[in-house]
Chain A
Amino acid sequence: MKPALRSGDFWSGLVLAALGTYIVVTAHAWDYITEEGPGAGFFPMWYGGAMIVLSLLLTLGAILRPSQRAEVRWKDVSRAIAAWVAFVACVALMPFIGFVISFALLTAFIVKVMCGEKIRTALIVAICGSAGFYLLFEVALELSLPAGKLF
């Protein structure tokens, strides 16, 4: 792979340029100036345009001077992404199994898989953690935690 294609700046620049284009195109449909002054499209048009210019500069910089930009260590990223996927799964499960169980599952995953602890430790932390949250927020502070269809 060419160095520029491995650079985070290259890809983030492209993504932000696309976002800037989306902002400008969308804002184009709104009033830029009205009789009373600037319209809804005025401000987004300016920062969207600036975003396109700057992000393209960033991408160009990654192509022209690839060695100056630090490359992303994708191996390290995979652990963080795994934790994020577990977090998303926990949130996605909440409408079905509720906060207490889905949070216990997330905790068990973090303790066992991400931190490499024993399964017994993972279960104890998961059960105590979930119970603690339930007792503190739902019972003591009377705040409603996400409830599921099943629990």
Chain B
Amino acid sequence: MDIVSGLLHGFQVALTANNLMMCVVGVVLGTVIGVLPGLGPPATIAMLLPLTMKLEPTGAMIMLAGIYYGAKYGGSTTSILLNVPGESSSVVTCIDGYAMARKGRAGPALGMAAIASFIAGTFGVVALMLVAPPLARLSLAFSAPEYFALMVLGLAMVVLLSGESLTKALLAMFLGLWIASMGTDIFSATSRFTFGQVELMGGIDFVIVAIGVFAIGEVLGNMEPTKAPDMLPVPKGLRNLMPTWEDMRKCRFAFVNGSVVGFLIGILPGAGSTIASFMSYGIEKAVSKHPEEFGHGAIEGVAAPEGANNAETGGALVPLLTLGIPGSGTTAILLAALILWGFKPGPLFIQDSPELFWGLVASMYIGNVLLLILNLPLVAVFAQLLKLPAYMMYPLILGVSIVGVYTSANSMFQLALLCGFGLLGYLMRKLDYPTAPLVLGLVLGDLMEKALRQSLMMSQGSISILFRPIPSVLLVVAALLLIVPLFKKFNAARLQVIDREA
């Protein structure tokens, strides 16, 4: 199926009443959680995943993806009005967005954030559509050793950029690998780390770990005392939200910069939208004729990062759908969702599941238009969500988590595990252990072990099979990524990037 006919087929799928409704639900939910600080897309998608099992997979995937990219739009609202990022990727928007709001230009800042998000988000989908099919064809040549090396590289990237301490990031990843090992070994039927519990013979459901670590851990973390910041007023009326033509002219390069940088960074595992937004902000400032305006309310300082964090979602879906390799906690959950529904993300995904792939791509075009509509005239409505009291939010999250986990297997044992993983998630946050390597280790652990053992079986135990051209290059790059922080100069640069994320 070529791109044009694929896209036409995709629109036929996405424009059915059910899938259109799923898209609306997804982007509205995404905007809501993007606006609410403290509740992120991984927690929301993890909580809702078990509830989507009864739904038709294409519609469910359209909804979950809508939450993923919708949150990027909503994240800017709190950055501009409260100086508190709704999402980590909106941190940089605080700098100039909040400065604009303090100067009485909150409206154009919110409007520009929505317009830049729309332009770059749409660019991300176009690029995904153009890049994914040829990449999938290229990766058809991959077999077990190449996959193993690719997964090692993905994990190394995530570990490198996940936290201040490389040791802690590696330990979190190994913890994920250990949890992934639990259950019956598919090669030898040996029961591993089951502690004599029949319920653990099939392994630990990814959903329980994800909900525990992200949702419960987040709620527990929020129980610690914090002072609520003051919110600046939201301008009323569409006219007050629209940037001027002069603003649009100023942001011409920012749109291109945000789109391209965001998409390219998105393809790299581990880098993520926060780095994409900071990088595009840095480029924008570097090439600006008035760099001194940055930090004091330069509208390009809103357009570039907001564009980048939206284009990144298109980029992040490329390795997920064509190689089956997620690059972040959220895409790891989306990968788990696809596997739970019986799909096999990888080189044959587009060929085997054209309805899902093209339906998803088309829904993202529709979703971006819906988000522009939602985030321009309705931004004041969403901003009211910030007045929602915490005492209503916390029980809601805990309740949905319990229902989500229980309904996936109707088992109290699963709820007991949820309690354990909730505490683990909180302790990891408290002790500065990054959670993304744990989740990625858990999702990739099984696949990685399988690929390694298959590789060594192919070569009758000889490790030389990993020295074929592609795996050897990927493994050398992965090793370099982990060795580089040992050198002070490179580690300083790495910490600078992580500092920005923090």
Binding site for B on A (CB under 8 A): 8-9, 12, 16, 19-20, 23, 26-27, 30-31, 33-34, 36-40, 42-44, 47-48, 50-51, 54-55, 57-58, 61, 70, 72, 76-77, 79-80, 82-84, 87-88, 90-91, 94-95, 99, 103, 106-107, 110-111, 114-115, 117, 121, 125-126, 129, 133, 137, 141, 143-146
Contact = CB atoms under 8 A, between A and B. Distances in A.
Interface residues of B, number: 58
Contacts of A137: 403, 407
B167 A87 contact: no
B174 A50 contact: yes
Contacts of A84: 220, 419, 422-423, 426
Nearest to A117: B391
B59 to A, nearest CB: 15
Contacts of B394: 110, 114-115
Given A44-B178, A50-B170, A99-B402, A34 B449 contact: no
Nearest to A17: B171
A83 B415 contact: no
A72 B224 CA distance: 13
A55 B169 CA distance: 11
Contacts of B193: 23, 26, 44
Contacts of B449: 43
A68 to B, nearest CB: 10
A113 B452 CA distance: 51
B399 A103 contact: yes
Interface in B128-182: 165, 167-168, 170-171, 174-175, 177-178, 181
Interface of B: 51, 165, 167-168, 170-171, 174-175, 177-178, 181, 185, 187-188, 190, 192-193, 216, 219-221, 223-225, 389-392, 394-396, 398-399, 402-403, 406-407, 410, 412, 415-416, 418-419, 422-423, 426-427, 430-433, 449, 452-453, 456-457, 460-461
Nearest to B412: A95
B336 to A, nearest CB: 20
Contacts of B402: 90-91, 99, 103, 146
Contact of B456 (A38, A77, A95, A99): A38
B412 A146 contact: yes
Given A143-B407, A144-B407, A111 B178 contact: no
B302 to A, nearest CB: 33
Contact of A80 (B170, B223, B457): B223
Given A19-B178, A80-B220, A88 B390 contact: no
Listed residue (B174, B422, B452) with the most chain A CB atoms within 10 angstroms of its CB: B174
Contact of A83 (B188, B220, B430, B457): B220
Listed residue (A48, A51, A80) with the most chain B CB atoms within 10 angstroms of its CB: A80
Given A19-B175, A30-B192, A143-B403, 17 more contacts: A12-B433, A23-B193, A37-B457, A38-B453, A38-B456, A39-B190, A44-B193, A51-B178, A54-B170, A58-B165, A58-B168, A72-B431, A83-B220, A114-B391, A114-B394, A125-B395, A129-B392
